[in-house]
Structure 1
Amino acid sequence: MAVRMALSGKLYYEISQILGVSEFFLGYWKKIFKTQGIERLKLGYKGSQGYLTERQTDVVVEWLKNKEYWNLDELVTYVVQEFGVIYKSKQSPA
């Protein structure tokens, strides 16, 4: 999502505020995308097991696809209301 926003012309500062990530993070992954393509973004760190089921994740993705813009606070509220999953932090744990 961060790379998509950067490629659409959004300023790094705006993206970092919306997603709660550093501007360095944005530059790094945009460079990876431009030099190695979308497949490189799909590989690598897999993270911990999510709190949503595969079906719930699909529902969230469809909900996002139907939005004109994405807002993290709105997404957090949606996930809490629809699935009872509480989002704790905009940043990964250290």
Structure 2
Amino acid sequence: MALSGKLYYEISKILGVSEFFVDYWKKIFKTKGIEGIKLGYKGSQGYFTKRQTDVVVEWLKNKESWNLDELVTYVEQEFGVIYKSKQSPA
């Protein structure tokens, strides 16, 4: 947005960040390009192997409707993964 002529205060209002934040990331982009602003976080290692993920996806594809509690039970029985909450696994 800054490179297309929008003012920093406009950008900061749109994004809900400070003008300093906009200026900082614009400078990073100008010096390092797109590689400089790419997200560096790669995430954590998943609980399933590729094969296990494929099995779960296939199981879901064969169901007429999805139910989270049923999925949690299936994953626990098939792979031993027990969930603490509906947001994240144990």
If the length of structure 2 is used for normalisation, what is the TM-score? 0.48
Which protein is bigger by CA-based radius of gyration? 2
If the length of structure 1 is used for normalisation, what is the TM-score? 0.46
User: RCO greater where, 1 or 2, for CA within 8 Å and sep 6 or more?
Assistant: 1
More helix by share: 1
